[in-house]
Structure 1
Amino acid sequence: MKALQIPFFASLLLLLAASCVSNKRIIYLQETDEEIPLYTESELVPNFTEDYFLQYNDVVDINVKTTSEELNEIFGIAAGDQRLQMNMAQGAQNGGDIFFINGYTLDENGMVEIPLLGEIELLGLTTKQAQTKIEEKLKAYVNEEDFFVRVRLGGVRFSALGEFNRNGNFTILQNRISIFQAIAHAGDMTTTAKRNEVVLIRQYPEGTKSFRVNLNDQRIVESEFYFIRPNDMLYAEPMKIRELGTGVNFMQTFQLAVTTLSAVLLVLNAVR
């Protein structure tokens, strides 16, 4: 019986040792062997660039300025600029979505309604094409050299569900963010999340598609999924380890090992 216990205890010690993380691996600015290189460098990977086409429920920031004070008042430029500054200050304070109030949301028909210009369909257009279309409408009221139009996305909105430390809907006030920036914004993924099968649900003008993305593969930076798009949804499934209830850190592994050892000893004593 003792001969059986020795390999068991040896295996237990190996399991506990493998679960430990040395301080040498987590302390910054240590004195290290000079023969170990300070850094390693990978090859430059070109970004995957692709035009984004406006979708339903996208929020766009449309800025129209002219040399006519009367037209500027119609477009609400003075009041809009002041309101935007106030909302930016408030958004910086409490994380609010500043463009949801001041921007233009594409309705179920892909239309936006702009003062004086009326309804304009922007669905399926890039921001540059949308800008050109608005400029063509504006030429009926102002000479081409007397106005300025700018169209841009009102931030990137996405959702994070499942094995994230912070689930919910998020807005990042940038024109482009990577999938890792989005994950960081959601508090990173939990220890038990499947990083090799993250589900990404993406909207297209003709419908919706879902993809399973392997974040463990460095080739992700070369793919179309490296930069997320507005209205993307990320879903992280749990590993089997969560379903089985095994430990994911030292204390949990230690508790599991102690419990298992106690059960084995009880069975051995009952057999004897």
Structure 2
Amino acid sequence: MSNFKRTSSRRGIMFLLSLSFLVISFSSCVSNKKIIYLQNQEQSAALDDGQMINYDLLEYRLQFNDIIEIQVLTIEDLMKNGFSLSDQMPAMNMGMQMGQGGGDIYYMTGYSVDKDGNIRIPMLGNVKVTNLTIDEVRVLIEEQLRRYISSEFFVRVKLGGIRYSALGEFRKPGKYVVLQDRMTIFEAIAHAGDITPIGRREEVVLIRQFPEGSKIFKVNLLDRNIINSQFYFIQPNDQLYVEPLKVRELGAGENAAQSLTLIISTFTFVALVLNLLSN
């Protein structure tokens, strides 16, 4: 009777071991097709290497929660400092330190667009800027300043960096502020340390803000045709979320080496149990 129980136990353990081995073999390793960016996929038109791609870019229009930097220089300022903006470097250095500590570089020095679409400027008061481009804001401020400044002056308006959030299967998830006027989605991913091997690259969730609200999109980073899409360039206040692949749910290895280690550990455990049962 004892031998029968041992035989049944061994058969049960071997069955579980075989089942575990099959599950690990078929689902553990993440294939290169799920990792390699910018592939020519079968369901999309092929883009050859070296092929010129023309961008049909729309100028970004300001929205709630954007921050812009405004600088006004008179002739006296230009005569004193020339065309250099070196007088702003101390403030920029302070801003970089804030950024490294998790703060927003232009939060203290820039002008935030409020919920009514206004920014508040000295002398001018509230100025409606929502749904305007950076160049349109510059022209608007120049026109209003001419009521107060009789001499020649120069107005400089820039977007206070691109703010976006990276959530989910990123190596360094978080909120980022990048001091650029334009940035691709791959640059944004690079700032967040790239996507982990178990991140779902073919269905990246992108939440994009519009004047009337927000929209959710699914972006395929594996498809080379993303370069032709409206999602190739990140916009301020975009949010990126990468879901995990099934391999994480199964708790298997991310690559062949990890999967092999898991299989060896499983065999070692079963051998130990069988050895105990045989004694």
TM-score bin (small chain):
0.7 to 0.9
Quote the Cα distance in structure 2 between the aligned partners of 1:207 and 1:90. 33
Partner SS, residue 101 of structure 1: coil
The match for 1:113 is: 120
Q: Which residue of 1 aligns with 2:62?
A: 54
Q: Equivalents in 2 of 1:88, 1:131: separation in Å? A: 21
Please tell me the residue identity of whatever aligns with 1:88.
M
Equivalents in 2 of 1:172, 1:85: separation in Å?
Answer: 17
Which amino acid is 1:184 matched to? A
The Cα offsets for residues 67-126 of structure 1, whole Å up to 9 and x where unpaired, read as 478xx9xxxx9xxx7773113224445644432221111111111111111110101100
Q: Does 1:230 align with 2:212?
A: no
Match of 1:196 among 186, 192, 202: 202
Who is 1:167 aligned against?
A: 173
CA deviation map 1:165-199 (0-9, x unaligned): 11111000010000000000011111100000000
Contact kept? 1:84, 1:102, Cα under 8 Å: no
Pairing of 1:116-195 with structure 2 (within 5 A): 116-143=123-150, 146-195=152-201
Of 71, 86, 89, the residue aligned with 1:63 is: 71
Q: Out of 90, 110, 123, which is 1:86 matched to?
A: 90
Q: After alignment, is 103-112 or 90-99 more displaced?
A: 90-99
3-state DSSP of counterpart to 1:215: coil
Identity %: 46
Cα distance, 1:64 vs structure 2: 1.3
| Matched residue SS, 1:129 | helix
Structure 2 Cα separation of the partners of residues 214 and 41 of structure 1: 19
One-letter amino acid matched to 1:107: D
Partners of 2:206 and 2:216 within 8 A in 1? yes
Q: How much has 1:44 moved relative to structure 2?
A: 1.4
Measured in 1, the distance between the counterparts of 2:97 and 2:124 equals 34
Tell me the amino acid that sits aligned with residue 183 of structure 2. I
TM-score (norm. length: structure 2): 0.72
Following the alignment from structure 1 to structure 2, what is the Cα–Cα distance between the partners of residues 257 and 154? Answer: 51
Specify the SS of the correspondent of 1:99. Answer: coil
1:215 counterpart (204, 213, 221): 221
TM-score scaled by length of structure 1: 0.74
Secondary structure of 1:56's counterpart equals coil
Relative contact order, higher structure (CA 8 A, sep 6+): 2
Hey, what does 1:26 align to over in structure 2?
A: none
Please give the secondary structure, in 2, of the residue aligned with 1:235.
Answer: strand
- Count of residue pairs brought into register by the alignment: 229
